[in-house]
Amino acid sequence: MSKLTIRACTRGDANALARLYQQSAAYLRSLGDKGTFHFNADAYLRDGFGEHPAFEGILAELDNKAVGYLLYTFTYDTDRTMRILYVLDLLVDEHARRQSIGRKLMERANEIAKARGAGELFWAVYKN
Q: For residue 128, what pLDDT is reported?
A: 60
Q: Which spans in the chain are helix H?
A: 14-30, 41-48, 101-115
Q: For residue 31, what pLDDT is reported?
A: 85
Q: Which spans in 31-99 are helix H?
A: 41-48
Calpha distance 58→43 (Å, rounded): 16
* pLDDT tens sequence across 31-44: 888 888 999 999 99
* pLDDT tens sequence across 66-107: 999 999 999 999 999 999 999 999 999 888 888 899 999 999
